[in-house]
Amino acid sequence: MINADQGKHQISKHIYGHFAEHLGRCIYGGFYVGEDNTEIPNIDGVRKDVIDALRELKIPNLRWPGGCFADTYHWQDGIGPKSERPTLVNTWWGGVTEDNSFGTHDFLNMCEQLGAEPYLAANIGSGTVRELSDWVQYVNHDGQSPMANLRVQNGRDEAWKVKYWGVGNETWGCGGNMTVEYYANLYKQYATFMSDWGNTRGIYRIAAGATNDDYHWTEVMMRDVPHSLLEGVGLHYYSVLEWTDKGPAVGFSDEQYFTTMKRALRMEELVTRHSTVMDKYDPEKKIGLIVDEWGGWYNVEEGTNPGFLYQQNTMRDAMIAGVTLNIFNNHAERVKMANLAQTINVLQAVILTDENKMILTPTYHVMKMYNVHQDATLLPIMFDNVDYVHGDEKLPALSVSASRSEDGKIHISMVNIDLEKSQTIKLNIRGMDLKDITGSILSSGSVQDHNTFDNPDRVAPKEFKDFKMSKGIITVEIPPYSVIVLNSK
């Protein structure tokens, strides 16, 4: 049952956010090919095909420059004349030397082209309080001040007014191997010196959050940090088979598929339990749970640099995206932002590039089909789920979320993760007489199917008509491993 005339919570568009780290070919070769590149059409060095594809996706925000890289990054090295910038060695990812040609101006100007809110992840691990407070002043202060003047001198008059800031990344690990008690103190110190510089949109500070089920981490951050200094608390969770052997991105077994789905569906438990901890200290749900890294993580493609995390993207990834986004939608009351890792050529990417070629992955198509939910009102939903059985184990086969956008249209996204069985779902739509429903489906002949540079449209959404609407009940037959979105006109 869907109560189409009810719903209290808005699905923040920022749940559909992305992440771009200086890692492998995400920035260099992915987003950025350099201003002097005459082979690949670009605007100030940023690929035009990428900008167009991400605008189509309605990308709401982009997190940068890391990840683990963020806690080695000194923003001052990436401003000013490019020929004079120092190089840096990317110690986390492949040990490659970068020339710092993609820096703060490049990223923030690119976000303007994308129509996306920037989300800057600051260096706590090897940076200083002054370095961060100067960065905030540099990008956000419109008056006369040392950093604002430096920005103007570097060619940008108007402040970018960046709202979203990460105060460290994975501070329990690559961000400094801290205890949460230590980090909570450090967080308070850094956050105190971050001003909004009169920006009426304010500043939204996101604390580096827990990994997986570390509920103690969330508890201490919520308990020990004054809420006047904290707008969001992070959470990182990847769908990984085993960290020692993550399995192949293509050519996985049915067993591995089932386990990946089990891992992906665990997001429901993690979000629920971290939210419960947050509720204890913030019953009014003012502080957001920010899942700023999520997605499938496999072994790298053969012959590629192990530090570049390049992997293909199949219908299995479409399943991860479909069920995870439904979970976030259904927890819209607490989950205010999420960032799929990572946008281009890294982990569960939405775009892959090879020199001047670019392809869209099955995950891209799911994100695009689901973008109708952005900023819509979440609708309460109840339905009888069915089991996806594999050997002695079972998982819920179906995942659904629904919303009503401002123009009154209803959107229902559905996933059937079962590898073999089609599943029928019946949804009684209450409170609204739905007419003229259109649908799209992402499905393919094999769960291993993916797009390649030679066959870029093997997996692409198609029109979907295999549903019936009678007496207020929609009956939909969902094929195995497929994603469907229905929209009322």
Least distance (Å) from ligand AHR to the CB of residue 72? 11
Residue 21 engages ligand AHR in binding (rule: CB under 6 A): yes
Site stretch for ligand AHR (CB under 6 A), options 41-49, 61-69, 257-265, 371-379? 61-69
Least distance (Å) from ligand AHR to the CB of residue 19? 7
- Record the tokens describing residue 371, joined without a space: 């973008």
Pick from 169, 30, 202, 155: which is nearest to 102 by CA? 30
3-class secondary structure, 3: strand
Residue 66 engages ligand AHR in binding (rule: CB under 6 A): yes
Residue 119 phi, psi (nearest 5): -130, 105
CB 423 within 8 A of CB 475: no
From residue 410, how far is each of 373, 400, 448 by CA, in Å?
Answer: 9, 13, 32
Pick from 320, 261, 257, 273: which is nearest to 294 by CA? 320
Catalytic entry in 21, 98, 268, 293: 293
Residue number with CB closer to ligand AHR (340 or 474) = 340
Least distance (Å) from ligand AHR to the CB of residue 408? 38
Whether 219 is catalytic: no
Least distance (Å) from ligand AHR to the CB of residue 66? 5
Q: Could you tell me the end-to-end alpha-carbon distance of the chain, in angstroms, rounded to an integer?
A: 20
Q: Which residue is nearest to ligand AHR (CB)?
A: 67
Q: Which of 169, 330, 348, 353 binds ligand AHR (CB under 6 A)?
A: 169
Residue 341 engages ligand AHR in binding (rule: CB under 6 A): yes
Residue 409 phi, psi (nearest 5): -75, 145
Q: Which of 67, 166, 247, 322 binds ligand AHR (CB under 6 A)?
A: 67
Least distance (Å) from ligand AHR to the CB of residue 277? 21
What is the total count of residues that contact ligand AHR (CB under 6 A)? Answer: 10
Query: x/- binding map, residues 276-305, to ligand AHR, per CB under 6 A?
Result: -----------------x------------
Between CA 387 and CA 423 the distance in angstroms is 10
Site stretch for ligand AHR (CB under 6 A), options 34-42, 62-70, 83-91, 409-417? 62-70
Q: What is the DSSP string of 61-94?
A: EEEES-SGGGGG--GGGGSS-GGGPPPEE-TTTT
Residue identified by tokens 């979440």 is 378
Whether 170 is catalytic: yes
Residue identified by tokens 């490049």 is 106
Q: Which residues bind ligand AHR (CB under 6 A)?
A: 21, 66-68, 169-170, 293, 341-342, 347
Which residues participate in catalysis according to the annotation?
Answer: 170, 293
